[in-house]
């Protein structure tokens, strides 16, 4: 596949670079935010070599490419410019023709959350995989009290400890304010002096106003709400600052107002909301542990198909991991869902008559085993209809087993066979349960898909 040609064609068919308000990417998709979505030629984009599907989600026009999306994005960035190769400001005017003038729709909210988390997922995955590698090294004899273990451990943990800084930067890009000042505000919440005040626990005030002491490492909501507030402060500072001193006065006002308000009001408010969400997740984990993995296992293919998984899962699983040291929101259910889709896709290879469809089923099924299911979903599962039913049944079966056995995930990575070490933790049986979840979901998905067969007639109509 020619990445340069594909990038040029994608930009041309979404209306040209002048129609691109912003573009970013996740593991498999280019996520365009267009000034006028009506100018995008969806059918022509889907016909391009290397494109699996075009999905409209909220304010985004998502072009599903696959694991090589990063290389294509680099070429897109050269065309549209680095200023556009970021999520567009959430406060910008709605695209012409979207019918949502000035309102905050569910789709727009999902677009905001996705735009904030998508850029940091790679960093979170990197930390999670270092943690997983460290667990494997421990099994092979690396002492937990060795300096090597100590260094690798804080390398892995640094991603989560400094998560507010990463989220500050991506939130600023999404809300249309200075990402570097936002990163400084994130650093304020993690500064050693602030940490010392929290550890000491003595009352703190700022010009007579009481300051509530919270530990913001690994937190999510406090910094996102703070940067949202900062976006308004920055615009206010720009208006009131005379041009002759704007370069100095605007950043002074932005940081000088935002940081204290974050420590006194917004940070504690975000922590309270985050604590409430953590309490809900803890209640579900304790009282109905089978509920979330089963539901996620069943509906995850639909969420991935619509591009909604990044808007729903990352914030919740980060909150739970920070609160409990493990997460059950995404990992177990999504592991079951991905393995079931892999089984359903590979089974399709035995039922289709077309050699091209058979080759597609095998290649995308193997990719799904590694945790990347979009190629299988768009190239096989939704195309032939019945494998989707099999994938959802297998995902629910694997998720139910994971819930009954209370499967936990201790670090982040795209759930698949290469990421199984992220299920290694204090309980040595947890990884065994994870492997059993993989087997159950894969086998059920494969068998149900093989029995149901494929709807090649529907596929032919779609291709016509």
DSSP 210-239: EE-----TT--HHHHHHHHHHHHHHHHHHH
Domains of the chain: 1-83 (3.30.1360.60), 162-285 (no CATH), 289-463 (no CATH)
Tokens of 321: 């991991």
Residue-wise pLDDT tens digits, 143-152: 988 999 999 9
- CA 157 to CA 76: how far, in whole Å? 33
Model pTM score: 0.75
User: Rounded to whole angstroms, what are the CA distances from 6 to 48, 62, 90, 118?
Assistant: 7, 14, 28, 22
Helix ranges (DSSP H) in 241-308: 246-261, 267-287, 291-306
Tokens of 254: 């932005």
- CA 322 to CA 339: how far, in whole Å? 27
- CA 193 to CA 205: how far, in whole Å? 14
Give residue 99's pLDDT.
40
Give residue 459's pLDDT.
54
Which residues lie closer than 8 Å to 198 by C-beta, 6 or more apart? 213, 214, 215
- CA 163 to CA 224: how far, in whole Å? 11
Backbone dihedral region for residue 355 (phi beyond 0: left; psi -120 to 50: alpha; all else: beta): alpha
- CA 352 to CA 454: how far, in whole Å? 7
- CA 314 to CA 114: how far, in whole Å? 9
Averaged pLDDT in 10-residue chunks for the chain of 464 residues: 89 92 84 89 90 81 86 90 54 38 60 82 85 85 90 91 94 92 96 94 92 90 95 94 91 96 94 88 88 94 82 81 85 95 96 89 93 88 91 96 94 88 88 97 97 72 50
**What are the beta bridge partners of residue 24?**
31
Give residue 299's pLDDT.
94
Tokens of 371: 């945790």
């Amino acid at each position: 596949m020619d990445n340069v040609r594909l990038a040029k064609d994608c930009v041309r068919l979404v209306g040209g670079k002048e129609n691109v308000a912003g573009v970013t990417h996740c593991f498999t998709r280019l996520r365009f935010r267009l000034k006028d979505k009506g100018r995008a030629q969806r059918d022509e984009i889907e016909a391009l070599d290397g494109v699996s599907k075009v999905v409209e989600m909220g304010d985004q026009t998502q072009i599903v490419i696959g694991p090589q999306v990063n290389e294509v994005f680099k070429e897109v960035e050269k065309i549209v410019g680095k200023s556009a190769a970021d999520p567009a400001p959430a406060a910008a005017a709605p695209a012409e023709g979207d019918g949502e003038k000035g309102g905050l729709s569910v789709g727009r909210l999902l677009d905001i959350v996705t735009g904030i988390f998508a850029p940091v997922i790679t960093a979170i995955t990197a930390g999670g995989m270092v943690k997983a590698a460290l667990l494997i090294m421990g099994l092979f004899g690396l002492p937990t009290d060795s300096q090597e273990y100590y260094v690798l451990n804080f390398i892995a943990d640094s991603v989560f400890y400094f998560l507010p800084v990463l989220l500050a930067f991506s939130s600023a890009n999404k809300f249309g304010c200075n990402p570097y000042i936002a990163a400084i505000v994130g650093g304020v919440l993690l500064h050693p002096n602030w940490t010392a005040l929290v550890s000491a626990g003595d009352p703190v005030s700022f010009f007579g106003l009481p300051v509530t002491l919270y530990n913001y490492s690994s937190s999510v909501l406090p910094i996102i709400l703070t940067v949202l507030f900062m976006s308004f402060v920055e615009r206010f500072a720009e208006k009131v600052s005379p041009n002759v001193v704007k370069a100095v006065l605007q950043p002074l006002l932005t940081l000088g107002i935002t940081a204290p308000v974050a420590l006194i009001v917004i940070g504690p408010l975000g922590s309270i909301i985050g604590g409430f969400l953590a309490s809900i997740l803890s209640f579900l984990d304790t009282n109905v542990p089978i509920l979330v993995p089963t539901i996620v296992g069943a509906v995850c293919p639909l969420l991935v198909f619509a591009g909604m998984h990044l808007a729903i899962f990352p914030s919740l699983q980060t909150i739970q991991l920070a609160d409990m040291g493990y997460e059950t929101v995404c990992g177990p259910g999504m592991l079951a869902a991905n393995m079931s889709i892999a089984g359903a896709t590979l089974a399709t290879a035995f039922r289709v008559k077309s050699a091209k469809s058979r080759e597609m089923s095998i290649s995308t099924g193997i990719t799904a085993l590694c945790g990347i299911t979009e190629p299988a979903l768009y190239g096989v599962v939704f195309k032939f209809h019945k494998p989707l039913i099999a994938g959802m049944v297998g995902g629910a079966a694997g998720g139910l087993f994971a819930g009954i056995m209370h499967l936990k995930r201790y670090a982040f990575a795209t759930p698949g066979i290469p990421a199984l070490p992220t299920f290694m933790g204090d309980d040595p049986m947890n990884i065994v349960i994870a492997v059993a979840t993989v087997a159950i979901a894969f086998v059920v998905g494969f068998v149900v898909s093989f029995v149901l067969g494929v709807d090649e007639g529907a596929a032919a109509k779609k291709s016509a």
